[in-house]
Amino acid sequence: MKGPALLFCPGDRPDRYARAAAASDAVVLDLEDAVAPDAKDAARAAVMRGLADLDPAAVVVRVNATGTPWHAADVAALAAFPDVTLMLPMAQRPEDVEALGPHPVVALCETARGVLEAPRIAAASTSVGLMWGSEDLLADLGGRSGRAPDGTYRPALAEARTRILYAARAAGVAPIDTVLVALDDLDLLAADSADAAAAGYAAKACIHPVQIAVVRAAFRPGDDEISQAEDVLAAAAGQPGVFRFRGRMVDAPVLARAREILRLTHEADATTALRLSKT
């Protein structure tokens, strides 16, 4: 997965697959929450047909959770596409993540147990990403509201968001921020995305195409950040070690962050250029 905007697409809407894939950095074909129980088999068959026309590097399939009546059939069908990344909802044990091999797996932690087990889940041999799910987590906690009056997350969800980030980065897998279900609140989406990017998240999941541009803009480093990164790296040339630059101490971590800013900028610009070339 390259780029910060993942877009969920209902598995039983094959007419939307191509558009969702073209609009996003990775499309998540959803066999779980977006599909009614009586449509699961038809959705699975549609996803199997659709995968033949999609780039495996830019598609994720969210299977039904371990222990549900549809999980085994999902996994068995997707064995024909071993390179496709799977998303496992309600992830609570590393064994369940590893059981999906040889597929790469994004584990979705959306229960109290899943959040507490996040370090072990992220360290599973098949893990490539770790995501948290705010809505299901709030329900699992018995909470009534995940947001404070100012729009920020209440402490219980804020802690989960932080734990997922730490677990993912410690294991060397991609941390993915939760969706925002308030489709019309693009200001809150921008704030959420900016917070996620600033903290170290690699991507954010979207549930509507209108959210994609907001997420991409928030994750791309700003012009001032880019300029400062370029300047500090230029100033570091020929410097033997720690040095002073514009009133600040510059050492190895500062230089590493500057390089990361330029890497993210290059990746974002390359993705944009590729997307425009296909339109």
* DSSP code for 152: S
| 263 annotated to bind ligand | no
Tell which residue, 221, 229, 227, 233, has the closest CA to residue 265. Answer: 221
| 62 annotated to bind ligand | yes
Residue 46's CB: how many other CB atoms inside 10 A? 21
Locate all alpha helices (DSSP H) within the chain, ordered by sequence: 17-23, 40-51, 71-78, 94-98, 112-116, 118-122, 134-141, 155-171, 186-199, 212-219, 223-236, 252-277
Residue 244's CB: how many other CB atoms inside 10 A? 10
Can you read off the two tokens belonging to residue 36? 């009614």
d(CA 209, CA 217): 14
| 33 annotated to bind ligand | no
Q: What angle do CA 214, 219, 222 make, to 5 degrees?
A: 100
The answer for residues whose C-beta is within 8 angstroms of residue 72's C-beta and 6 or more apart is none
Binding site members for Mg(2+): 110, 136
Known binding-site residue numbers for substrate? 62, 110
Q: Which residues are annotated as a binding site?
A: 62, 110, 136
